Amino acid sequence: MSYDVVIFGIKLTISPVAFSIPLGSRHWDIYWYGIIIATGFLLALIYGIKNAARLGINTDRMLDVVLVATPVAILSARAYYLIFDGEKLNGIGDFFGFGDSSGFAGLAIYGGVIGAFVSGAVMCKIRKIKIFDMFDLAVMGFLIGQGIGRWGNFVNQEAYGSFTGSSWWGMESTKTISEMGEGLVHPCFLYESVWCIAGFFILNRLSKNRRFSGEISLMYCVWYGFGRGIIELLRTDSLMIGNIRVSCLLSFTICIAGAILLVLMRRRTAETAVSDGYTEVFAENDDFITETEETGDEENEQNN
């Protein structure tokens, strides 16, 4: 199966299947989605390895955390999707993609992020890594993976939004036409990809002068939460609880909470820095004070 796609006036024909591997009388399809996700993960891992020492993290211990957090994140992403999508499974095999249902076709990023943070925190305790240093490094990897991974949604022709109302800006494909009718729709996958990649470059720059452990993590919460919340309002496939868009509510909650904590922690850090600076100023003048006191004592003795 392939899709005829028009995006920003450019006509393309794309297939979700990259290639197939013959297995006797059957074949095993390798999808572009998996390849793209794997590429994003690999680049995030390379970034982590190159920058772990800069954040005071032992690389070998970091890899131990990643080895555990990655499969947990995938399973959490699947579970999160099923909880809010309401998809019915015929058995445990469907959860892992071995049954007749959509299998791992249904994954939710937020579920993966939550699973990665929780399992990562546990592993940091076990491997004796400072949790917030690890989180600061991990969120940079998330932005890389999310920015690249969203192009897997493009290949599958999913994660798009409502009609744009524009005569040129947007995307249309055989899939969007069959589901929504003719007209250009918002390429939400592209919006989020650009937002995440821009966030990576900004936060990577700021990470070189972070004021406290966890600062970059809070910046990620603000940046990604705000962008995802806005983009989620445009999507037509949001996970819902009644009339509430789950990811939209969660995104803005994370953004606001992150912003509040970021302000509070920066104030606390600034107050600590002022206090330390005050002590250091007097420490530098101890010799001068001592000399002045000694001179005064000598003058008093002479007068006596």
Residue 102's pLDDT is what? Answer: 46
Lowest mean pLDDT, pick from 5-14, 82-91, 263-272, 279-288: 279-288
Residue 89 belongs to a domain: no
Q: What is the pLDDT of residues 11-63, one digit of tens each?
A: 999 999 998 888 777 878 888 988 999 999 999 999 999 999 999 999 999 99
Residue 163's pLDDT is what? Answer: 94
Q: What is the mean pLDDT of residues 165-194?
A: 93
Residue 26 belongs to a domain: no
Q: What is the mean pLDDT of residues 82-89?
A: 68
Whether the Cβ atoms of residue 115 and residue 138 lie closer than 8 Å to each other: no
Nearest to 103 by CA among 75, 131, 127: 75
Reduced to 3 states (helix: H, G, I; strand: E, B; else coil), residue 168 is: coil
Residue 208 belongs to a domain: yes
Q: What is the pLDDT of residues 2-12, one digit of tens each?
A: 999 999 999 99
Residue 101's pLDDT is what? Answer: 45
Residue 146: is its pLDDT beyond 90? yes
Name the strand (E) or helix (H) holding 297.
helix 286-303
Sequence-distant (6+) residues with CB within 8 A of 262 are 215, 218, 219, 222
Residue 122 belongs to a domain: no
Residue 20's pLDDT is what? Answer: 87
Residue 150 belongs to a domain: yes
User: What band does 98 get if pLDDT is binned at 50, 70 and 90?
Assistant: low
Residue 119 belongs to a domain: no
Whether the Cβ atoms of residue 120 and residue 136 lie closer than 8 Å to each other: no
Reduced to 3 states (helix: H, G, I; strand: E, B; else coil), residue 240 is: strand
Average pLDDT for the chain: 85
Residue 275's pLDDT is what? Answer: 66
Sequence-distant (6+) residues with CB within 8 A of 189 are 150, 151, 153, 154, 158, 159, 160
Residue 88's pLDDT is what? Answer: 62
Question: How big, in percent rounded to 5, are the helix, strand and coil portions of the chain?
Answer: 65, 10, 20
Measured between alpha carbons, how far is 38 from 47 in angstroms, rounded to an integer? 14
Q: What is the pLDDT of residues 193-233, one digit of tens each?
A: 999 999 999 999 999 999 999 999 999 999 999 999 999 99
Nearest to 109 by CA among 137, 143, 140, 155: 143
Residue 64's pLDDT is what? Answer: 95
Tokens 């800069």 belong to residue: 54
Residue 281: is its pLDDT beyond 50? no
Residue 283: is its pLDDT beyond 50? no
Give helix 131-156 / helix 109-127 axis angle, nearest 10°. 150
Whether the Cβ atoms of residue 62 and residue 54 lie closer than 8 Å to each other: no
Nearest to 238 by CA among 224, 227, 249: 249
Reduced to 3 states (helix: H, G, I; strand: E, B; else coil), residue 19 is: strand
Residue 299: is its pLDDT beyond 70? no
Residue 105's pLDDT is what? Answer: 58
**Considering its fold, how many domains does the chain have in total?**
1
Helical residues (DSSP H) of 86-214, grouped into ranges: 92-95, 109-127, 131-156, 174-180, 188-207
- Would you give the distance in Å from CA 20 to the centre of its chain? 31
User: What band does 183 get if pLDDT is binned at 50, 70 and 90?
Assistant: very high
Residue 296 belongs to a domain: yes
pTM: 0.81
Residue numbers of the domain that contains 284:
34-57+130-170+183-303
Residue 295's pLDDT is what? Answer: 52
